[in-house]
Structure 1
Amino acid sequence: MEWLERIAKLRQWSRNGTRAPHKPLLLLYALGRFQDDADGGLRYSTVEEDLQRLLNEYGPPHKTTPAYPFHHLISDGVWEVRTDRGPGSPGSGIRDLRERGATGQLAPDLRAALRREPDLLGKMARLLLDLHFPPSLHGELREAVGLELERAETEQLSVVRRQRGSRMRELVLTAYEYRCAFCGYDGRIGTVPVGLEAAHVRWWAFDGPDEVDNGLCLCALHHKLLDKGVLGVGDDQRILVSQRFVGHSAAARDQVIALAGRLLIGPQPGSRPVAATHRNWHAQHVFHGDPRPATAA
């Protein structure tokens, strides 16, 4: 439990709910590489492109660099860096890390613990995912860093103090009458809805409550795009579509680009719409770039 507690308390820059998943992403990547080669190090110049891709895909909307976590993760006691000159990081400058051959690796004591306890790696990965990313991204993030998890992936860890609300899905889907708030999809098999999910606007990992005014009933596609920052909700309960999204197919135009400026479908009268505080958090910390202008009907 000592290592899980340490992972749960990673020191990260934070202000007003700001997302700073630099260290969690580096650790997830390192755990994936550990599974392939428990003794191999990560030379910064070799893995920089991979780490930058992870930050671009799963990090905050603003531009950032993997040099920051590569150096600063040392202070959390789970990471070490060596250069061609010996132990110690040359700092967080990209040029220094490249030119001095900086190579990072999980701390020796942590590597030893991972060898002793076969299920520790899965628990650490699950903890990092739960604390820093929404469930809709967990599967693709595991694939992106090359992590293969088994039973530990589905176990609730006691170090995660806050429990997810069990009725969130039922309340949100009922409020939106079992229709995607973005496209109106309402598929069922018999009486059972399929492909519909309760999405948190402000992520649960960042104190988003399990309440209707922090939720949207969305189809699986639009849930994923909401969590990736392609879609959002504006002040007037209209759909935002990022200008950074590019899609030339008819499907991309119809299912994404054409949503720009549309009013949300629902919630039904008597149910609370998405609260401004949650819309604003998503717009600031998840949504990428500026919204597209409203699409003509």
Structure 2
Amino acid sequence: MTDALACLTRLRVGHSRGKPAPNKPCLMLAIICEIQSGHITSSRIAIDERLIAQYHDLYELAADSRQEARPWLPLWFLASDKGPDGQAGSLWQPDLPPALSEVVDQLGAPRSLAQLLKRYTTARLHPTLHARLESESSAREAAALIIASYFPSRPDLQTRLHDYLELAFASGAYERAPERLKGDQQGPPEQQRARSAAFRSLVLEAYDYRCAASRLRFITPDFRFLVEAAHLIPFSASQDDRPVNGLALTPNLHWAMDNHLIAPGPDQRWHVSAAVDPLVVDNRWLCELDQQPLVLPRDPRWQPDPDALAWRLDHLQR
């Protein structure tokens, strides 16, 4: 065990029914996953939807519940822990505004994520620890230390957490090199799951969790996303899991596109099949989509491939 990682075995955690509370360990595991995916690229960490959703996924594995995750607690109390230098409060330092820093001790702990985000939206992980966690081998060692230290009496849970992290690390490797997501790679099921997970993460993040057709963006209080990642050209025909071959869609519109009732075109507008009768009241939700603009990612790298849009329009029911 390297000295920089030893601090991860000494987190100040509460106990419930004689077992360590999973909040801080799950948050640190989520941070490790996000560093390995390339989403966190420096020791200054944004408290964003993706990190919080990752934390909820891990907490659900550890506690069989998402509703009790309360991410604001580990995000706040992690600031009391020692970093690799052994100094209290050096592991995690919230970027508090100067005026708030002077009175923060009087405020007490936040009671919701919204309240926490009013205090700070970024924090700094100890730079030495961050540098170690950029290495995959060190990240794996760190994750193994956390799991062994805080879930010692639950071998079944240890196995589930290791399986989760294995998938997260594999999909993260694809996220760091998305060009690898194109091509016929008939690998083992684990490889296909990693590709699918990377496709989903990249597409949903590219569209900021907003539907490319309806513009709906909804995230549940326990951080589940309304939208799904939909292929433009099906993977079976394209072997292409790059985000340029995908859209974020609500489940009903994903279904409608896969059944060729609607299609985004190269003109970056939505088209509705002539097979959808506009005189039927129940069809209006689809008909109203006709000629509406396609919601596009802000980053031009992830905007849909014109050839994939043309494929969709060519396959629209006539």
TM-score strictly above 0.5: no
> In which range does the TM-score fall when normalised by the shorter chain?
0.3 to 0.5
* TM-score between the two structures when normalised by the length of structure 2: 0.39
Kindly name which structure, 1 or 2, has the bigger radius of gyration based on alpha carbons.
2
* TM-score between the two structures when normalised by the length of structure 1: 0.41
- Structure having the higher helix fraction is 2
